Structure formats: C-alpha cells, structure tokens
Amino acid sequence: MTDAHDTDLKKELDATLHARRELGPEYESELADSFLEKIDQRIDGAVERRLRRTLAEQQLQVARGTRRGKGTDSWGERFGFAIVSLVLAVPLSALGGTFGGTAGLIATWLGIVGVNMAQAVRLNPGLFQRGDRDHED
C-alpha cells in the first residue's frame, strides 16, 4: 500500500514541477502550496487511519479483557528506559561538565538519577516505604 502512495506522490510532484516549468516562476509559490496541501492531506489520512486502528485494537483488548492496567509495564519497557537513560547520560555529562565544570556534572547526574528514581517510584509505588511498619514498637 505504501508503494502505491509513493507512486501517487511522485506523480503529483512530477505534475507540479511540470506545471512550474509551463507557468513560470511567478506561480511557484501557489504550486508549492498546492503540493504541500496534498502532502498534508495524505499525512492527515494516514494519522487518522492509524488512530482508528489503534482505538479499534484497544476496544478489542478491553472487550477481551486482555488490556494491561496503567500501573504495569513490561521488562522491555523498563530495559528500554534504562538504555535511553544511559545513552543520554553521555552527552548530558559532557555538556554539564563543559559548561558547568564539576558543579554542572554533579547537577547533570543528580538530574539523571532523579529521573530514574521517579520512573522507579512510578512503576513501584511502595519502593521506598519501610516494610516493617507493622512490627514497630
């Protein structure tokens, strides 16, 4: 289906360029606007189709009772967050150290640790609560 859309879009671009050669540069802005409008319509249509498909999938999951609650996540989501956090830590550390010296580097890492702690608490709401509250004297 994408190939057909690509072919149609290529034909539209070719027609626009041909019209530009025929009409001259004074119509260039109008032709470009027209072509961009067609692209916008295609993007809007694609987004709308994806949105409808996603909503239909969610409704189907809810109907089947297979939808996960918001508080749950998969191992892959946690692993992905950790990887992204570490990958972003390198350039952030470089920027923090370059522009802020040691204080900038410390602030950068406090931010990185803070974001990861917030994610951990979001996934495990009782993470930092004492487990022995029932046994206090």
Each residue's pLDDT tens digit, 7-49? 887 888 888 889 888 988 888 888 888 888 888 888 888 888 8
pTM over 0.85: no
Lowest-confidence segment of 22-36, 71-85, 112-126 by average pLDDT:
71-85
Q: How many domains does the chain have?
A: 2
Domain contains 122 = yes
**Range(s) of the domain holding residue 36:** 2-64
pLDDT at 90: 87
29 plus 81 within the same structural domain: no
DSSP string, the chain: -HHHHHHHHHHHHHHHHHHHHHH-GGGHHHHHHHHHHHHHHHHHHHHHHHHHHHHHHHHHHHHHT-PPPTT---HHHHHHHHHHHHHHHHHHHHHHHHHHHHHHHHHHHHHHHHHHHHHHHHH-TTTTS-TTGGG--
Domain contains 70 = no
Domain contains 69 = no
13 plus 49 within the same structural domain: yes
90 plus 129 within the same structural domain: yes
